[in-house]
A and B are shown apart, each in its own frame.
Chain A
């Protein structure tokens, strides 16, 4: 409540700063402020207040106008030197990660003081965000926004000047009040504000007010009134970009169109918000296969033997529960996650399986950037290779430096090892540095029984910007003394809208681990195997069962028009041979496999929401050539039905003269029942034909699934 009152008071004093560039220009920057955040709406208040030591400073809004865009910058100031401002920024960095120091001129402080003086007589409650600015000057280009680091003001200074808040009851104040109410989801208040605004003589805000009034009705669930107001809007303003948007909103409100489903209830008690959400689904899967085999005599080509086998290969009910609960306030964030999949099979000889995917509790202390996660959880960073049972602790040492410690037992599915495995690791996350660079270094040791299973050190380096990103990873195993993983990947969106992607990846497969040596052994207990093999011999055997996989790819996607896009990819991959052991024979390498893929994507060919993809691939490899084609389409049938259909075709010609052909059409139909229930039916067939000089085999597998998903 203290926080809320604090923020309310400050926001009530927020000021509109809209200065023509020409007026801001003459004065040099001789003060500094900390720009905490820039938002689209002033109702987006900061989650945490400034520290006590900074509460004597002024917290106020600036308005940034660029072209047709208005944004609001929350600032704390004023400081005489950039060093003082930087110290304040560091104090605030934990709560405002994007905070930066910017120069301002003294007029801004003076205008703020005047405006605060004028604002005092105004009622302090309810908190009314200040009115949006009425542009007094030509918009300032985005390039004129303040720099990220302290520097003299650029030739085009920020658009900033303090003015008095709009008087209560004015169009500006009512607009601001209404928009703030929408953001707070206080729709009755929004309706009141916009209705009052529309009662004023026609002004430059009337158009927006009429749209927002309809929106408030819509969000309130009063569809009939919303529709009426949208129609009124279009009668008054039939032309323009806004009108197109309103038509779209109106179209969404037409009878039969499901309204925005009610969100999971959010309860607020004593500043805490709690909510739960998730889904429960049950699907029945059934698959039948018919395999027809003909043995052919190599001498006379007469059919000597023919067998036909029919069987039900799948009959199972799969139940999936995914549930999350959160308890959140301004400084604490608690989360409980549970995900489980249960498979009940109806085929004799097959066992039912229950898989616990996740069951963890997570706590975050926001001001201190501290967190803990306990239980079964995914592990995908810091050298972790997958899911584990254990704990992950993290603490922000500095704004751009975070220390994590992780420990537990790995959870592998489908792998049975009679050995105890446990790991302990630490990693340090760095960044963002210079806005775009992040990375981490890590060390992890995993024991299996009494010896080291895996011990790795690694690092990641990443560059991340709006138009492109780059990432690299290297993982070196200090026990095997080999590089386990090396990855380089990049994405770039060119100014001409072509999206490029590139990947170079090298990794040992499976990952270097001593436990790989248990493959093919009579015992999967490392402790038992140590009675036969030395520790070094076990690692040698593990290495002999581990292949090296290398992959390089590059691709692009380009929008040819609003409807059509084209894409192309080139890949080359190679998996090395393995030496094998006396119990497991070595596997041959694949040689280089080249894949060339071209795609054509049609968007909105038949309806607004349909997507059609045609893909053709050619594969050349040691011993075979292959061709693949795929046609996939997703099309809405009204608002409640959705049809997904695809056809896949593949042909492979082997150097030894044998061939393989596979065709697989699939259709999936979804129906949205109410706001939270989805029913689905999927039917498909896969037909495979293979032939060689001695045998011909035709396989036909038909399958279907039917079930529901309840979102709560």
Chain B
């Protein structure tokens, strides 16, 4: 990214904060990609506690559908009509991906549903589970044979 744009981004939050009004809430606060013992771990930090219901992953792992239930719906309410879309931070340890979040009540039968679609740029193998803090979603990316880059997803 251009150096000027980086500086502008650094200053922007504080100037905007001075003129900000009330806040809409969002579902995702941060996406962190960490190297772990067993491979790479992606952590989607959420803005509130959730209950994990289920996930479906396409055969090549490029698309995952995750269904959660917001336990403190006020943390997710007031969202704009648009789905929230976030992209992954730069990392050499995981293919780039985007996360699309919908809190539309029609997206799942559960009360206060939080429906996510995670789309990877490449086929990848991983396992999805709720984080230990109940406020994050974990994707454990598995290395391929002998630590080779991950490829297609194994069935859980």
- Give the residues from 105 to 135 in chain B that come closer than 8 angstroms, CB to CB, to chain A: 106, 108-111, 117, 121-123, 129-130, 132-135
Which of A260, A473, A493 contacts B122, CB < 8 Å?
A260
Q: How far is the CB of A132 from chain B (nearest CB, A)?
A: 7
B-chain residues with CB within 8 Å of residue A613 when the two chains form the complex: 56, 65
Chain A residue nearest in CB terms to B49: A380
Q: Is A68 an interface residue (CB 8 A)?
A: yes
B9 contacts A615, C-beta separation under 8 Å? no
A487 contacts B17, C-beta separation under 8 Å? no
B-chain residues with CB within 8 Å of residue A712 when the two chains form the complex: 1
Q: How far is the CA of A357 from the CA of B74 in the complex (A)?
A: 14
B20 contacts A376, C-beta separation under 8 Å? yes
A323 contacts B9, C-beta separation under 8 Å? yes
B-chain residues with CB within 8 Å of residue A208 when the two chains form the complex: 146, 148
Q: How many chain A residues touch the partner (CB < 8 A)?
A: 129
Q: How far is the CA of A462 from the CA of B26 in the complex (A)?
A: 25
Q: How far is the CB of B113 from chain A (nearest CB, A)?
A: 11
B80 contacts A489, C-beta separation under 8 Å? no
The majority secondary structure among interface residues of chain A is strand
A497 contacts B156, C-beta separation under 8 Å? yes
B72 contacts A462, C-beta separation under 8 Å? no
B9 contacts A336, C-beta separation under 8 Å? yes
* Given A341-B80, A356-B23: A501 and B51 interface contact (C-beta under 8 Å): yes
B152 contacts A245, C-beta separation under 8 Å? yes
Q: Mark B32-73, 1 if CB is under 8 A from A, else 0.
A: 000101110000001111011110111110110100010110
Q: Is A648 an interface residue (CB 8 A)?
A: yes
Q: How far is the CA of A279 from the CA of B98 in the complex (A)?
A: 11
Q: Is A609 an interface residue (CB 8 A)?
A: yes
Chain A residue nearest in CB terms to B69: A503
A559 contacts B134, C-beta separation under 8 Å? no
Q: How far is the CB of B40 from chain A (nearest CB, A)?
A: 9
B-chain residues with CB within 8 Å of residue A711 when the two chains form the complex: 87, 98
* Given A245-B151, A464-B132: A38 and B74 interface contact (C-beta under 8 Å): no
* Given A341-B24, A355-B21, A380-B48: A276 and B134 interface contact (C-beta under 8 Å): no
**Number of inter-chain CB pairs below 8 Å:** 281
* Given A381-B135, A411-B23: A491 and B37 interface contact (C-beta under 8 Å): no
B-chain residues with CB within 8 Å of residue A358 when the two chains form the complex: 23, 26, 29
B58 contacts A248, C-beta separation under 8 Å? no
Q: Is A235 an interface residue (CB 8 A)?
A: no
Q: Is A70 an interface residue (CB 8 A)?
A: yes
Q: How far is the CA of A285 from the CA of B92 in the complex (A)?
A: 36
The winner among A41, A68, A559 for most chain B CB atoms within 10 A is A41
Chain B residue nearest in CB terms to A549: B111
Q: How far is the CB of A694 from chain B (nearest CB, A)?
A: 29
- Give the residues from 222 to 262 in chain A that come closer than 8 angstroms, CB to CB, to chain B: 241-242, 245, 248-249, 252, 258, 260-261
Q: How far is the CB of B98 from chain A (nearest CB, A)?
A: 7
- Give the residues from 67 to 105 in chain B that come closer than 8 angstroms, CB to CB, to chain A: 69, 71-72, 74-75, 77-78, 80-82, 85-87, 89-92, 95-96, 98
B-chain residues with CB within 8 Å of residue A628 when the two chains form the complex: 109
A-chain residues with CB within 8 Å of residue B21 when the two chains form the complex: 353-356
B-chain residues with CB within 8 Å of residue A579 when the two chains form the complex: none
B95 contacts A385, C-beta separation under 8 Å? no
A-chain residues with CB within 8 Å of residue B82 when the two chains form the complex: 281, 283, 285, 318, 320, 705
Q: How far is the CB of B52 from chain A (nearest CB, A)?
A: 5
B129 contacts A469, C-beta separation under 8 Å? yes
- Give the residues from 165 to 210 in chain A that come closer than 8 angstroms, CB to CB, to chain B: 179, 183, 185, 208
B9 contacts A604, C-beta separation under 8 Å? no
Q: How far is the CA of A318 from the CA of B27 in the complex (A)?
A: 18
Which of A98, A325, A610 contacts B58, CB < 8 Å?
A610
A378 contacts B59, C-beta separation under 8 Å? no
B10 contacts A325, C-beta separation under 8 Å? yes
Q: Is A386 an interface residue (CB 8 A)?
A: yes
Q: Mark A555-589, 1 if CB is under 8 A from B, else 0.
A: 10101001001010101010000000000000000
Q: How far is the CA of A603 from the CA of B59 in the complex (A)?
A: 7
* Given A338-B16, A359-B14: A265 and B1 interface contact (C-beta under 8 Å): yes
* Given A337-B13, A339-B26, A438-B132: A413 and B59 interface contact (C-beta under 8 Å): no
Q: Is A343 an interface residue (CB 8 A)?
A: yes
Q: How far is the CB of A156 from chain B (nearest CB, A)?
A: 20
A413 contacts B24, C-beta separation under 8 Å? yes
Chain B residue nearest in CB terms to A562: B155
* Given A248-B152, A320-B82, A497-B155: A562 and B59 interface contact (C-beta under 8 Å): yes
Chain A residue nearest in CB terms to B143: A40
Q: How far is the CB of A245 from chain B (nearest CB, A)?
A: 5
Q: How far is the CB of A635 from chain B (nearest CB, A)?
A: 10
A185 contacts B60, C-beta separation under 8 Å? no
Q: Is A709 an interface residue (CB 8 A)?
A: yes
B145 contacts A242, C-beta separation under 8 Å? yes
B-chain residues with CB within 8 Å of residue A489 when the two chains form the complex: 51, 71, 134
* Interface CB pairs A-B, < 8 A, 28: A70-B147, A98-B37, A208-B146, A245-B144, A248-B123, A261-B121, A275-B89, A276-B1, A279-B86, A285-B82, A325-B10, A336-B9, A337-B13, A337-B30, A355-B20, A356-B20, A356-B23, A357-B23, A358-B26, A359-B20, A360-B13, A380-B46, A380-B72, A380-B75, A414-B78, A551-B111, A555-B53, A664-B106
Which A residues fall within an 8 A CB radius of B? 37-41, 44, 68-71, 98, 132, 179, 183, 185, 208, 211-212, 215, 241-242, 245, 248-249, 252, 258, 260-261, 263-266, 274-279, 281, 283, 285, 314, 318, 320, 322-326, 336-341, 343, 353-361, 375-378, 380-381, 385-387, 411-414, 432, 438, 462, 464, 469, 471, 473, 487, 489, 491, 493, 497, 499, 501, 503, 505, 507, 510-511, 551, 553, 555, 557, 559, 562, 565, 567, 569, 571, 573, 595, 597, 601, 603-604, 608-611, 613, 615, 617, 628, 630, 634, 648, 664, 705, 709, 711-712
Closest 8 CB pairs of A and B: A356-B20, A40-B147, A464-B132, A359-B13, A338-B13, A355-B24, A378-B47, A263-B90
For the complex with contacts A360-B13, A507-B72, 9 further pairs of A-B residues with Cβ separation under 8 Å are: A70-B147, A281-B82, A356-B17, A357-B25, A375-B17, A385-B75, A386-B48, A469-B132, A608-B60
